[in-house]
Structures are given as structure tokens and as C-alpha cells.
Amino acid sequence: MLSPGSRRLPLFEVGKERPISPTLLHIIGQHLTGQIEPGRQAVRQPTLAFLLSLLGGTAMVSFSSGLTSYAQYYFITNILVQNTFIIGILTVFVGALLYQRPHEHIVWSAIMVTMAIDELVLVESISSAIPLLQISALGPVAGALALLSGILGLRFKSA
């Protein structure tokens, strides 16, 4: 509560600039130039696992897009197509989280392995309804890429 005689200072006043602290300028300069302070270590990131998850997720999304035309002819439900699409999107997001939070690599890699196995089970159930020669080979490849990404993430050593 303000006392009756006190006046609140506004955060921003028209015509006045607030100076940027030298510490903040130093930190911004380090990030822009890639320099690291002495005593701090660079954080290793699982780049290959991230790239494989991007490829696997993109392949899953394109595989599910190719399945929509078969849904009415082979009586596969749209749920299988939607699940493949959702797993593809989640694979990309989990791969990004694996890259951004390498200290939590075991959690994100375990989720990636689980989604890859789920994708392979979905592809197997779809291939029982549609002959495998008629659909794209992206489904099994996408599941294998996501599985490899998860395994590489589990084997990753963060420091």
C-alpha cells in the first residue's frame, strides 16, 4: 500500500530511456559471439538424435498424409491416421526438447523410444489391412528413425 504522500514511479516514462546494465550487455555479447566465460563449460547437445527425430517426425507426418486416401477403400479408421500424425508431431517436439534440455536426455529419449515403438505397432496394424506394397515405406522407416533417435539419446553423455 502506498502512503497518501508517496508517489509511484512509472516503469516507462515518455522521453526517458532506461540504461542497460553492463552485465546484461556482457551476457548478450557472449551469446552472440559464442564466447564462454572462463570457468563455465559448454553444454553438449545430442545433435544427431535431434536430427534423426526431425527426420522421423517429418516422415511420420507425410506417411499419415499419404494414408488418408486409403481410409475409405480399406476401411481403416481415421484414428490410425490421426494417431500416426499426432505421434509424428510429438516426435518433432520431443526431439526439440531433447536438444534444448540435454541434462534431461534420459526422460526425453525414453519418451522417444516409446513413441517409436507405438509408431511401429501402428504401421504393423495398418499393413495388416492394406498390402504393404501399396502404401509408402515411410512408415517403418520413420519408426526406425525415431527408435534410433531415442537409443542415441539414451546413450548420450551430457558432460
Separation CA 100–CA 93 (nearest Å): 10
The confidence score (pLDDT) of residue 14 equals 60
Separation CA 46–CA 156 (nearest Å): 7
Instruction: Tell me the average pLDDT across 30-55.
Output: 77
Query: Hey, is 41 helix, strand or coil?
Result: coil
Residue ranges per domain, the chain?
Answer: 47-155
Separation CA 85–CA 64 (nearest Å): 5
Cell triple for 130 = 492394406
How many C-beta atoms surround the C-beta of residue 41 within 10 A?
7
Q: What is the per-residue pLDDT across 130-150, written as a single tens digit (0 to 9) for each?
A: 766 667 788 889 999 999 999
Out of 6-15, 34-43, 77-86, 114-123, pick the least confident. Answer: 6-15
Separation CA 91–CA 84 (nearest Å): 10
* Contact yes or no for 112/118 (Cβ under 8 A): no
Query: Hey, is 134 helix, strand or coil?
Result: coil
Rounded to two decimals, the pTM is: 0.68
Separation CA 63–CA 45 (nearest Å): 28
Q: What is the per-residue pLDDT across 103-121, written as a single tens digit (0 to 9) for each?
A: 999 999 999 999 999 999 9
